[in-house]
Structures are given as C-alpha cells and as structure tokens.
Structure 1
Amino acid sequence: MRYLELNSALLHKKNGFFQLEKDLEAAQAFEEEVLLRLRRFSDPLERFQALIQEGYYEDFFARYEAADLLRLYRLAESYPFRFQSFMAVSKFYKDYALKSDDKKLYLERYFERVLAVALHLGQGDVQKAEAYVRAMMEQRYQPATPTFLNAGRARRGELVSCFLLELDDSLNSIGYNLNAAMQLSKIGGGVALNLSKLRARGEPIKGVAHAAKGVVPVAKLLEDAFNYADQMGQRKGAGAVYLNIFHWDVEEFLDTKKINADEKSRLQTLSLGLLVPQKFFDLAEAGEDFYVFAPYSVYRAFGEHLDDMDLDRMYEALVAHPEVKKRPLSARQMLTRIAQTQFESGYPYIVYRSNANRQHPLKALGQIKMSNLCTEIFQLQTPTLVGDAGEVVEAGFDISCNLGSLNIVNVMEQQNLAESVHTAMDALTAVSDASAVRQVPGVWRANQAFHSVGLGVMNLHGFLAKNQIRYESEEARDFVRSFFAAMNYYSLERSMEIARERGQTFHGFEQSEYASGRYFEKYQEDFRPRTETVRKLFEGIPLPSPADWARLKEAVEQHGLYHAYRLAVAPTASISYIQNATPSIQPIVEHVETRTYGNATTYYPMPFLSEETYWFYKSAYHMNMYRVIDLVAEAQQHVDQGISTVLFVTSETSTRELARLYVYAAKKGLKSLYYTRTKNLSVEECLTCAV
C-alpha cells in the first residue's frame, strides 16, 4: 500500500533529518483512499435522514430543528481541519469513524463524527452543541474514546468504560462482583476490583480452620471472566485487582506475575496493584520489619475490616493485639521484591493510599480505597451488600470513569483556557447525566449522587518542546504549576455555576472541605508564573490571583458544587494521535514512535518535530525520574483525583534505585504510580544521550 511506503519513508533521513513531509504525503494518500469508499449524499439533511432511518444515528430531529442541524453541520465543515500525521488519519478511520454494516463504506469524516458527538452531548441545546463543535474542531477539548466513539450512534456502547468495584468478605459478594465484572466487560468496560477484604489463605470459614483459599483463586476467576466476556471477540476484556500491602496474602499475590510462576496461580492478563499506606514507607525507611495480617482475624478482633482501617494510626494496635494473626516481613526486602516484579512484568501499580486520603476533600464522607486500571481515579467507595440469592440488599458506591482531555498546545495558542475548561466540564457533565449503567446498581447510585467527572490534559511534552523548554527544567515545573492551578480554578467555577443553575449540589457537599472552605486555604499562595519565560507563555491568558480564589471560595460556600470530583489525568493514547499530541503529561519515549497493528507497522513522528525541537524531545528513558516525579507533583497538588504516572527505567537501573523512586514519589505527594517501563540500553543509545 502506497501510504505505508510513504509513512516508512519518513525514517530515511535526508540531510541528516527525518523526511517528515513523507508522513504528510502518507496521510494524504490514505485520505484519498477513504474518499473512494465514502458514501455520498445530496445534502447534509438528506444524510441525517438516511443514516437515522437506516439505524446508524440516533434521531437528531427529535431534539433539533432542521435549520439548526444544517447550521451546525456547516459550522463543523467550515473548519480547515487536516490530520497532522498518517497515524492520526488511519487511527480515526479504522477505530472511530462510522462505517456501513458490511464495513465497505465510510459514513463519517472527522468533522461529521465531531458533529454527532456534539449533537448528542448538547441534548437539544443548540448553544451548547455549538460550543462543543468549536472546542472539538479547534482541538482544544477531546472526549475520551468511549464518548468520542459512541455518542450519536443508534447502536452504541456506553459513553464511559472504566469501573471500580469493591468485594466484601463473603461468597455472595464474590459471586455478585464476578458477574458485575463480566457484565461491565461485555459492554466494553475495563474493571478494577479491590480484593483486600477477602480473608487470607488458611483462615477459617464458619469455624472450620484452614478453609479459606485466599485472594489468588478469586483473581484467577476474574481473569478467566475477563477473557470470556471479551466484547464478542472485538476487544479483549481488561481487568485489574488491588490488594493492601498489609494483607497476609501479599507475597502470593505478587508471585502471580513471576515468569516462572506455576500456571495454576500465574496471572497472565490481569493487572495487579498494591495499596500502600504511609506506615509501610515509614517502616522501610527505619529499616524495620512490617507485619502482614490475616484480615478475618482483624475483623473478629476489632469488628472492622483491615482495609477500612487507617493503618497509619491503627498499625501498632494490630501488632499488639494477641488475637490478630500476623507475621513479620522485611519492609526493605518487600520494596526490592516489588521492584523485581516490576522489572519482570511492569506490575504492580502502586497506590499511595495515605496521600490520596490526606488530600481528599470529601474525607468526612468516606475513604479512597483503590484506583482504576490506569491509576488516575480516586473517589470514595463502599461495597454493595449482597443477599444469599445474589440479590442487592443495599447498593454501595461503585465508581465509573467519565474522562476527557484538554490539548495544552491548542488551548494555550488560542488563549482560551477558561472557556475550554468550562466547555469541557459541560461536556463531561452531559455524559454523567446520560450514564445509567444499570447492570451494576452501585455504579448508578454513585453517579447519581456525585456526578463525578475527570478532566485531564495531553500534549505537555509537545507544548514544552515546541516552545523549546526542557521537560526536566524549572520552567517546565513553573508552567505546570500555573496551568493546573488555573485549570482547577475554572473547573471549580463551572461546577459552582452548574450547581447554582440547577439548584443542586453533589451528595454530602455540606460535609466536604469545599463547604467548610478548608480546601481553598492553600490558594492564599499565588500560583501565577514565577519565571519570565513562563510569564510570556501566559501573556493574554487570565490567571486567577489569590483574590480571585477568595471570591470563588465564597461563591462555592454559597452555591455549592455539582461535581464531587472534577480532575483526573489519564494516560491518553489513541485520542492523542488524533489530536497530534504527546500523551497526557508524560515525556515521550522516541522521536518517531513505532506501532504495529496486525501485519502493518506505522511510524508516528512527535508533534512539532523539527531540527530545532529535536533536542527538546529527550526520551523518557534518558530522563532523571526524580525530576519527572517533581513535575507530576506540581500538577498533583491541584488535581483532586490522580495522575497516571509511568516510571521509565533502563538496564542500568538497579532494584534499589527503583525502590528509592517509590519512596520519593510518596514523599512528593503522588497518589499513584502506573506501570514501570523497562528498556535495555545499547552503547549507541548511551552515546547519543551524552551528545
């Protein structure tokens, strides 16, 4: 195929640099092929009518006047949009564009997919639909894949596709959550489950000693369930399980990711995460042992589950209690063991539970106990009470992830930060309002109560490189500090306005630190830029002053907030390609990324790559990970949920050094670490880095 040849030709350097024009030629060649397979219509209204009648689109005429549909169509079409890479155009048409049932014809171009999404989210409000069209066509805001893919389609999946469930210590709960995970996987959801309440291997059941089989067999059941409920073979089911590091079975849990693990216990496709309170790091720093506890013995002794306890406060009492079954392990050796497991498999994820709860504005309402598959969601959670017949006796609060991202480059260059955040919050609110997910009552109940959303960003490294700022520099941290403070401000402002407009706040607002005003205390500090370089970047863009924050505090106390949770920085992938963006706030790995899909290899040059920006695109594998953590920490102080953070290490990194990074991230206030990516360095790469 000609476009694949052109795409690969970009690697054939001319005058010592990539032939980037070949990639744009590949994109154009692909679009030419698309046009040959594009279904034609006589006019936009005839197109709407045909696609609605044939069952491809929802009935937009039921909510909008024909004249408004035509005007919005012309608006979307008027943008001189061009895909900026072959990866972007091929990804869009292969994965997102609406196709005929036989897959032979394309029924949408980019602006038509944007329009369908905007019309669906607008729910008949022409003004809002227009704002969504503008934000998406200008590529300031990008909904997450479930929303961008499904909105506006008559036969669609859910607009959210990531869920968090908590198991109670009973067979009823295990069975219920196993079925819930399969139901959510069936509709395209990735599901994370907290196993920390389950009794350990060898604990008694109904007084019978050694009857419990522990957490690993339940994890194996879940892995099989996700492999079975795989969206009709189109997409593999995705699941993750979390366990508290003080749980008796933690060693066995980690062993499931060993390359040489027994096949009966090895977890090949299920992701693993550890929930780590600060007490563990304190013991490791002091060189002391830490105790793991049999959770059912804790429950019998204290009437409270181990995983529901504040272990920073209760640890010594658990150690001292004679009826609590426990055994000591070396805390430092456990850190090394975690690092070794990450070198082998990339797992486990690490959730800094004490940091998450310390920074939690809703701590009076409940605890943050776990995270999701990508470790950026942090919301309070309670388990669902299940009866003997598998019926829901009392729905708990389970979590769904409702995500979207700002493209930092376009928001900054169009000097449109406040409006972009407001529009994004409206779009995410529309998704929350429209999401029922009644397969799991706890998900529905929490969504109705909290209206939680997760606005994130992408293209940070792209923005820094384009402006010739080094990712590890003080200027980069200064930009992140100011940008995220402003993003937080405008998201709070819009949430307050929605609460005022609707006369409704999230459940329990009165008990939150937003209502008491405590949340706003840190914003007595001025988070506007400290360096001259960053001040120039924000010229023409209003940034909130401490006085603005004080006024917002008063408005929030008076009117409340509609959303219990607002911000979360997810690891954007496919949508980053379409936006010509670097993923999330993470550093890039290669100047030209290589991706293989089936038998075809695609090359993706970084956005704005040139001979001038090349040197500002330092690979993450050659970066100082302490400085990367510093940058994430600057953003985290303004993000009410979390930031998906990947560590990049090489063959020269020791397990001891990786363990130090875990401790450093905890001290810097991060709430989680996602994967650890490992790369074997060659001599040539080391020399290139040194130049």
Structure 2
Amino acid sequence: MQIIKRDQRETSVDIQEIRKALEWACAGLDVSYLELESHSTALYGGQDRVSTRDIQLSLVDEALHMTTPQRPEFRIVAARLLLMEIYKEAAYNRGYTEFGYGDYLTCVREAVRRNLYDPVIFEYYTEAELYEAGKFLTPAYDLDFDYAGARLLINRYLIRDREEVFELPQEMFLTIALFCAANEEKTHRLDRVREFYEVLAARKISLATPILLNLRRCGGNLSSCFVAAADDSLDSIFYTVNTIARISKNGGGVGVNISRIRSAGAEIKGTPGASGGVVPWIRIMNDTAVAVNQMGKRAGALTVALDAWHHDLPEFLELQTENGDQRKKAYDIFPQVVVPDLFMERVEERGEWTLFDPHEVRLAYGVEIAELWGDEFKKWYTKLESDTSLSLTRRVSARELFKQIMKSQVETGMPYLFFKDTVNRMNPNKHDGIIPSGNLCQESFSNFRPSAIEEPHTEEGSIRQISREGLVHTCNLVSLNLAEIDEYELPQICARAVRILDNSIDMTFPPIMESRHHNERYRTIGVGAMGLADLLAKKKIPFEKAAAFADAYFEKIAYFTVSASADLALERGAYPAFAGSDWERGIFFGRDRAWYEANSDIASKWLELMDKISREGIRNSQLLAIAPNTSSSLLQGCTAGVLPVFSKFHIDKNANGAIPLCPPFIKESFWYYKENKHIDQREVVRLMGAIQKWIDQGISMELLYNLNTPITARDIYEVLMTAWKEGVKTVYYTRTLQKNSNISEKAECESCAN
C-alpha cells in the first residue's frame, strides 16, 4: 500500500508510525491506543495512494465516533490528532522539519516578513528579549484541548498564510502576551509576559475575540462592546448610522439608544404629523449592519433600544414578528426595551401606562425624558400624565403591554429587557451622566451620550459641526475560567485579568473618536466568568444550593478585582472622572459602609479597601461584566457563562460534521450537572440575582422555557417579575424548547461571546 506525503512523495505505509501517533494522542488518558487502532484499521487499510492527511483525519473521525459520556477522553484524543496534523502543516509552510514547534524567534521574524504580525513587536522588544520569551513557550498546554476547542482555535483564531496554517496555539498565546505587556516597565516586563502567557495558555483567563484576533496584527480594534445614542435630528441620526458602520467594520458589537427620536405623527418644523417615527430609522440601521459585514466575515450585530414610555413602543415590539406590514420589519437587529421601575410597579398593580412623544415633551417642558431615571423620572412622568394638553399620547394597560412584550419574547426570543433604574442605582459614575441602555449581549454598559451636532447656515451652505463631545460606551472583556481556577489562585488571576484589560485600552485603535473619549475618561473594563456549572459540579454542590455559594464566591472575585484596580491606580493614576464617583464616596456596588459591616463576611477588608480608594483612587470606573461566552467556552473547555448546562452530552451537527460536546467533569460529576431545561427559571433568576450583587455592569442572562412541560403565561410573567425584584439588570435572549424538538437557536455575539 502506497501513501502520499505532504511534499507529494510516495512511500509505503508504516503502521509503526501510525501507532506512534496514537500512543502520543492517548498518553495520560484513561483510554488505550490499541482500542482506537483496532477500530481504525479499516479506514486506512486496503486503499492505495491515500494521503497522510486523509489517514490522520480518519483517525480523528474515529476518535470522535468513540466519544460517549462514559468515554469522554476520546474527544481529547481527537483534538491531539487534529493538532498533530496542524503541526505538520505549519512546519511544511514555514520550512522546518521538527515535529511540533520550531524556534520562536525565527517564527516571529518570518511572521513579520510575511506581514502576519505587526512589525512594531521589534520596536517593543529586542531579539534577545524575544529569544528569552521563547523559553516560556510550553507545548504541553496543547494536550489539554478537546476537539471542539482545538477545531475552533484552528479555524477561527490561528493566523494563516495563503490558507495554510502558519501560527501554532502556544505561539499565538505567547505573542499576545508580549503585546499585552509591551507598555509595562522594562525592568520586569518579561516577568509580566510570563505571567500573562501562563494564565492564557493554561486557559485560566479567556480573551474576547477582538483581543484574541487582533492584538498581534496591525492596527486592530481590541474592544468588544460599544453603545451609542442618537439625538432627535437628521444630522445626529445619520451620524449614528455612520458610527454603526465604522464600529461594525472593525468587529465590534453595537448598541444604539433611539429614545430621543420623535415618534410617528410628531410635527417637524411646525408641520403636524410629518414624522414617520423610529421604525424607518431602525430599518436604515438594520440594513447598515447587514451591509457593513466586517470584511465579509459576518454581518454586523446591532441592538436598538427604546424606552418603555416611548409612543412608538407597540410598533417597536412588532419589528420581528412574522405578521403585519413587512415594510415595518427589521429582522437583523436585536430590539431592547428600556424598563423603569415605575412601569414594573404599574404592571404589578394592574395600572395604566402612558406613552409619550419625546419631542412634544421637549417643546412643552424643555426636558429630555430619556435622560431621567429613578425619582426624577417618576416626578416628571406623573406630571406629564396629568397634562391633558399633550396631544401625542397613548393610554394603555401596563399589564397588556407587558403581555405583548412576553408574547414577542416567546415568538422571537426578544426584546431584551434593560431595567434602567436598577442599572443606574448601581452606576458608580452617576455624578457624571446616565446609563441609558445596554450593549448587544446585555452585560456591558456605562455612561454614554450623543454628540451634539449643529448645522449653522453660511453663504457657502450648510456646514456640520460637533458642538458637544459625545461618548460611546466602550469596553474590553476577558472571562475567568472557573473550571480551571482553584480558589487560592483568585487574587493573582483577578489581578492579571485587570492588568491585561487596562493594558489593552492603551493598545487598541478605537474606530471612532467618541470611543476614544470614553476610554480616556472612564477606562471601563469587563472581567467576566465562565464555567460556573463546572465549578459547582467539581465541588459537588447541588443547583438548589448554588445561589448561596455563588454569592460568597463572586464577592471574593469582586473584592480581588476592585483591589487590583486600586493597586493599578497607585501605579498609574485613577480614571479622570473619579472625583465625585461612588468609589470616592465609599459606595461599592450601590452599597455603603454600613451595609458591608452588617452583611459581609469580609467586611473589614472591604472597609480598608474603601479607605484606600477614597485616598488614592481606582484605575477603572467599572470592572465586571459576564458575557455569554457561547463559543469561547468551547475554546476554554468549560461551560458557557454562569448559566446551567443545556445538555450534559450532545452531538453538535453542522456543515462541518458532528462534534461531541460535554462539560469537563462529566465523568466524575455527572449527576451534579443539572440541565437548564429541567430547572424552574425562577431559580435560575435567583442565582443570577445573587451574582449580580457583585457585578457592577451586567450578566448575559438567557431564559429557557421547556414547552415539553406545562408552561403558562403566568409562569413567564413571574420569572420576569422575579428578575426585576431580585436586582437582575438585564434579560438577554428568551429561548424556547419546542415540543419534541431541539432548542430554537439564535445568533451569537462573537464580539462578546467569542
């Protein structure tokens, strides 16, 4: 039997070489290479002139077929066999003969020569430093990948040259670590490189996609989340459309608040009924997100937010339903309703709710109601309700409107819900603005506002100018992989996560100036978490006891993260808007010193930290945000986010084949992985509420209703009311498990969830 090698040479098959590969792939695992070999012989025996690559991939397929909940190790065998093929491909592409990794410095030189790495790396580091850094590289970390993670890494993240793999996994992590530490003090910079590399390579910290993709390339955006607002003018709206396009082009997920825009039937320059409302503008934004498709890689992703008091809300809720006028639909955006406490109170007491036109309110009172929250909003809202002179209003049943929201959620998975008062009560920068709405995945938000655009008339015509500096919320994300972190490691892991993100702010190239202004003023970062279901299983904690455990565990994460940012402030200075913030006043996560003294087991540490920050400041205005992590969790080999698993074991079938998926501790802790589809969603919400106490931004909380069990409208209503009362800030997707079918799938946000 003859086989064809990569260089097209023909040679006889060597069974011993195949056996050696299988031994390497099975080393250290509770499986025998002989078992795989006995199943695989038929795949490569009897065929002539088969390529070595085809033999290798047939072994990968056989290992996947042998993966079961009882034998999950075979998915790791499949990953190793796949990586072996990538090692060979990279070696051939780069011209060396060793199996696995070549010389790292030579790799960097060649990557720069081929325009794959940013040449600035040789401005940051000498060749001697790069040679020394190359000693940190540890190929053994590759052995921990399972097939789903290895395949995702190879297909999405490793740099290719002419469609052939150039870069290997540990080279990617080490190069990113070098760029992350580029601005550190030179005396201990390589120590920082080693620290960063080890937490990335050991998969204790997961980087969001923009950082993972762009940090070693030329001039890339590293931020995941952007949220902007449009004013009620033609110039501002189209300026916002341009903002959407530029952010989308650079790979960011976009949120846009449109609550200031006048409603349908409002007057324009004294002409009654001239306005078409928000829907036509949403359609333009929808088409912009589709058209600017991030260099052909994927369509832009956009959430559009509207306050619950806006006159156009009923039409907004129909944007994605199948029935009705198709000219009023926008199927490629993700609608978000901004909900004040007053609305939820009216729903609970079966009261009336009034919808207003913001333009009419501005004309009558000079008030921008979209900028109000809490008691100030209630004061103005009740005043407007009693004003019978306002003509463009709708009085509706609050509960019926809420039912319409619920109905749309079950039918389409949306709208998202953003509990505005809950968010702004915990906003540490309420002295400096307002958080009007959330980002694409509903976990990241801070103060933002539109630029004020004026159009003075001159003899030359109309000239646009910006008279007030706008702010676009901008956030860089990482996630702690709780499946891989022991509790004693939390202080150093949190410190490294904060340092990586603070460094990335200085390394990024913001796509718009309002984003740069936001970075400079607030230095917002988002340390998140994934693998909570794994941590619970590892510790054999039943889901029923998860909330109490998570409360205490995430308090520690919050403390160590805030403490790390306080240490950075001593080294680098506080964020510019610190003066007057809740941080300076000793109010952490919306709670004062007295609360910590009465409720925290580590109260003395919190009080000491409050005193330190009040004196010295804190580096980052907001620090914690838990993204969905739908696919980055595959790369990390853990469960996504902080939600329960959907399934303990399933086969993901797609155009690229069938991939077995299961959590890391499935074999030893099978019964402690409770599936979300079998859990009352009120219990899920209570767990999220316990975690939310310690997250100063948000949590991408999905709700899952299993329609194979009795579910009523009352059940869904109680889940959402529980979310509001438990202090959950946002509701992300609503998913339904249809009778006798799989879960209804929604597109993921690659910027946040990777």
Same structural fold, with TM-score higher than 0.5 when normalized by the shorter chain: yes
Residue pairs, 1:375-386, within 5 angstroms: 375-386=442-453
Quote how far apart the aligned CAs of 1:442 are.
Answer: 1.3
Q: What is the one-letter code of the residue matched to 1:307?
A: A
Quick one: which of 18, 23, 36 aligns to 2:88? 36
Residue pairs, 1:457-606, within 5 angstroms: 457-471=529-543, 473-474=544-545, 476-502=546-572, 504-519=573-588, 520-521=592-593, 522-525=595-598, 527-528=600-601, 545-606=602-663
Partner of 1:229 in structure 2?
292
Q: What is the one-letter code of the residue matched to 2:663?
A: M
Quick one: which of 670, 677, 680 aligns to 2:728? 670
Q: Deviations over 1:328-364 (max 9, x none)?
A: 1111111211111111110000000011111222212
Structure 2 distance, partners of 1:561, 1:7, is 50
Q: Does 1:152 align with 2:216?
A: yes
Structure 2 distance, partners of 1:7, 1:302, is 70
Greater shift in the superposed pair: 272-281 or 135-144: 135-144
Q: What is the one-letter code of the residue matched to 2:105?
A: L
Q: What is the one-letter code of the residue matched to 1:220?
A: R
Partner of 1:323 in structure 2?
389
Quote how far apart the aligned CAs of 1:205 are.
Answer: 0.4
Partner of 2:750 in structure 1?
none
- Over 3 Å counting, the alpha-carbon distance change for 1:361 and 1:468 in structure 2 is same
Quick one: which of 122, 132, 155 aligns to 2:181? 122
Quick one: which of 305, 314, 331 aligns to 1:242? 305
Structure 2 distance, partners of 1:175, 1:5, is 51
Q: Deviations over 1:542-576 (max 9, x none)?
A: xxx21111111111011011111111111112221
- Over 3 Å counting, the alpha-carbon distance change for 1:462 and 1:323 in structure 2 is same
Partner of 1:536 in structure 2?
none
Quote how far apart the aligned CAs of 1:507 are.
Answer: 2.5
Q: What is the one-letter code of the residue matched to 1:362?
A: N
Q: What is the one-letter code of the residue matched to 1:22?
A: F
Quote how far apart the aligned CAs of 1:240 are.
Answer: 1.0
- Over 3 Å counting, the alpha-carbon distance change for 1:683 and 1:49 in structure 2 is closer
Q: Does 1:25 align with 2:81?
A: no
Q: Does 1:399 align with 2:473?
A: yes
Residue pairs, 1:274-293, within 5 angstroms: 274-293=337-356
Structure 2 distance, partners of 1:47, 1:298, is 63
Quick one: which of 427, 439, 454 aligns to 2:526? 454
Q: Does 1:96 align with 2:157?
A: yes
Partner of 1:538 in structure 2?
none
- Over 3 Å counting, the alpha-carbon distance change for 1:236 and 1:84 in structure 2 is same
Q: Does 1:208 align with 2:271?
A: yes
Secondary structure in 2 matching 1:509: coil
Partner of 1:645 in structure 2?
701
Secondary structure in 2 matching 1:510: coil
Quick one: which of 358, 361, 365 aligns to 2:432? 365
Structure 1 distance, partners of 2:436, 2:653, is 36
User: Contact 2:229–2:450 at 8 Å: present in 1 too?
Assistant: yes
Structure 2 distance, partners of 1:593, 1:443, is 41
User: Contact 1:6–1:22 at 8 Å: present in 2 too?
Assistant: no
- Over 3 Å counting, the alpha-carbon distance change for 1:594 and 1:167 in structure 2 is farther
- Over 3 Å counting, the alpha-carbon distance change for 1:579 and 1:630 in structure 2 is same
Structure 2 distance, partners of 1:347, 1:372, is 14
Greater shift in the superposed pair: 389-398 or 486-495: 389-398
Q: Does 1:419 align with 2:479?
A: no
User: Contact 1:178–1:225 at 8 Å: present in 2 too?
Assistant: yes
Greater shift in the superposed pair: 321-330 or 130-139: 321-330
User: Contact 1:7–1:22 at 8 Å: present in 2 too?
Assistant: yes
Structure 2 distance, partners of 1:596, 1:169, is 46
Secondary structure in 1 matching 2:143: coil
Secondary structure in 2 matching 1:149: helix
Total equivalences in the alignment: 656
Structure 2 distance, partners of 1:161, 1:640, is 17
User: Contact 2:225–2:439 at 8 Å: present in 1 too?
Assistant: yes
Q: What is the one-letter code of the residue matched to 1:448?
A: E
Structure 1 distance, partners of 2:175, 2:561, is 25
Partner of 1:272 in structure 2?
335
Structure 2 distance, partners of 1:7, 1:350, is 43
Q: What is the one-letter code of the residue matched to 2:586?
A: G
- Over 3 Å counting, the alpha-carbon distance change for 1:593 and 1:429 in structure 2 is farther
Structure 2 distance, partners of 1:398, 1:43, is 43
Give the TM-score taking structure 1 as reference length: 0.91
Structure 2 distance, partners of 1:571, 1:92, is 18
Quote how far apart the aligned CAs of 1:84 are.
Answer: 3.3
Quote how far apart the aligned CAs of 1:7 are.
Answer: 5.8
User: Contact 2:220–2:509 at 8 Å: present in 1 too?
Assistant: no
Structure 2 distance, partners of 1:328, 1:595, is 48
Residue identity over aligned pairs, in percent, reads: 27
Residue pairs, 1:63-74, within 5 angstroms: 63-74=124-135
Secondary structure in 1 matching 2:259: coil
Partner of 2:111 in structure 1?
51
Q: What is the one-letter code of the residue matched to 2:675?
A: S
Structure 2 distance, partners of 1:410, 1:525, is 33
Q: What is the one-letter code of the residue matched to 2:466?
A: V
Secondary structure in 2 matching 1:404: strand
Quote how far apart the aligned CAs of 1:433 are.
Answer: 1.7
- Over 3 Å counting, the alpha-carbon distance change for 1:3 and 1:639 in structure 2 is farther
Q: Deviations over 1:570-590 (max 9, x none)?
A: 111222111111111111101
Secondary structure in 2 matching 1:242: strand
Q: What is the one-letter code of the residue matched to 2:345?
A: D
Structure 1 distance, partners of 2:716, 2:490, is 37
Q: What is the one-letter code of the residue matched to 2:404?
A: R
Partner of 1:109 in structure 2?
168
Greater shift in the superposed pair: 117-126 or 666-675: 117-126
Greater shift in the superposed pair: 381-390 or 353-362: 381-390
Quote how far apart the aligned CAs of 1:239 are.
Answer: 0.8
Q: Deviations over 1:601-633 (max 9, x none)?
A: 3221222111x4222222111111111111111
Structure 2 distance, partners of 1:47, 1:350, is 48
Structure 2 distance, partners of 1:387, 1:336, is 41
Quote how far apart the aligned CAs of 1:213 are.
Answer: 0.6
Q: Which stretches in structure 2 are left out of the alignment for 5+ residues?
A: 1-56, 97-101, 184-188, 456-462, 744-754
Q: What is the one-letter code of the residue matched to 2:398?
A: A
Quote how far apart the aligned CAs of 1:214 are.
Answer: 0.5
Q: Which stretches in structure 1 are left out of the alignment for 5+ residues?
A: 529-544, 686-691
Quick one: which of 636, 647, 655 aligns to 2:713? 655
Structure 1 distance, partners of 2:254, 2:63, is 36
Structure 1 distance, partners of 2:136, 2:354, is 63
Q: What is the one-letter code of the residue matched to 1:430?
A: N
Q: Does 1:341 align with 2:384?
A: no
Superposition RMSD in Å:
2.0
Structure 1 distance, partners of 2:514, 2:174, is 32
User: Contact 1:257–1:345 at 8 Å: present in 2 too?
Assistant: yes
- Over 3 Å counting, the alpha-carbon distance change for 1:547 and 1:143 in structure 2 is same
Structure 2 distance, partners of 1:655, 1:338, is 12
Quick one: which of 399, 402, 417 aligns to 1:332? 399
Structure 2 distance, partners of 1:653, 1:257, is 23
The structure that has the greater radius of gyration is 2
User: Contact 2:80–2:145 at 8 Å: present in 1 too?
Assistant: no
Structure 1 distance, partners of 2:262, 2:741, is 49
Q: What is the one-letter code of the residue matched to 1:557?
A: S
Q: Deviations over 1:303-334 (max 9, x none)?
A: 11221123333221110123333211111111
Partner of 2:244 in structure 1?
181
Structure 2 distance, partners of 1:421, 1:147, is 18
Quote how far apart the aligned CAs of 1:454 are.
Answer: 0.5
User: Contact 2:524–2:622 at 8 Å: present in 1 too?
Assistant: yes
User: Contact 1:278–1:354 at 8 Å: present in 2 too?
Assistant: yes
